[in-house]
Structure 1
Amino acid sequence: MTTVLLVLHFFVAAALIGVVLLQRSEGGGLGIGSSQGMGNLMSGRGTANLLTRATAVLATLFMALALALGLLNQGTGRQRSLFDSPPAAGGAAPGAPGALPATPVAPVAPPAPAVPTN
């Protein structure tokens, strides 16, 4: 159920992005939503009304799906973040290439620069 809602949420988000980009802004913007792109099917005002209503419907669906997904995952007992879980015990095996040494090693200081003598 959660997977279906998550996929639907993705498609609604993609459609919402597309509809917002199609709208004509006051400064010109992309200007894709003008009446030239629609031919004689709709006037510029009719296109703007259609895109505004589509944006409102998609935004409502987006919020409803986000709330539904949040409520479904609320009581599952799953971890809420990657940072909430402790690191895996053991990690790499001793002697493995990525394993840390058991005893701390003191850092080696770089040699002092040589002073030229005249």
Structure 2
Amino acid sequence: MFTFLLVVHTLIAAALVAVILMQRSEGGGLTSSGSPSGLMSARGAADFLTRATTILATAFVVMSIFLAGYAATLNRGATIDTSLARKPGEAAPTPGAAEAPAAAPAPADNNAVPLAR
């Protein structure tokens, strides 16, 4: 059910983007530089694209709120990868232990002098 609603939400978002991109530029948006026959006139408010944008935007916001609430109430069991878990009583590995240089081998002969490095 959640996946179906998510697909519907994606389709609403794609339709909203398409309707917004099809609209004619009004020349300023919310600024005062728009023409008087623009969005605030009776003809502009009755425009199909304007109404479609309003309906799709409202549907998008309502669907977003609904999906957020629905996702928060889902009881999905999460699986945890236990392949790296330590067994009880096992010591934690010390960081950098594998990077320590190996000790120099002990000389086999007591008379031999180790080489200086």
CA RMSD of aligned residues (A): 3.5
TM-score by length of 1: 0.51
Letter in 2 for 1:72: Y
Aligned counterparts, 1:1-118, within 5 A: 1-27=1-27, 49-77=47-75, 90=84, 103-105=97-99
Aligned length: 76
Q: How far, CA to CA, are the matches of 1:102 and 1:78 in structure 2?
A: 38
Q: Percent identity?
A: 46
Moved over 6 A (4+): none
CA drift of 1:74 comes to: 1.2
Deviation by residue 1:57-81 (Cα, 9 ceiling, x = unmatched)? 00011111111111111122559xx
Higher CA-based Rg: 2
Shift of 1:105: 2.3
Structure 2 unmatched ranges of 5 or more: 29-42, 86-94, 101-117
Quickly say closer, same or farther: Cα 1:104–1:77, change in 2 above 3 A: farther
Report the CA distance between 1:104 and its aligned residue: 4.8
Normalised TM-score (structure 2): 0.51
Q: Is there any run of 5+ residues in structure 1 with no aligned partner, and where?
A: 29-44, 80-85, 92-100, 107-118
Which gives a bigger RCO, structure 1 or 2 (Cα 8 Å, sep 6+)?
2
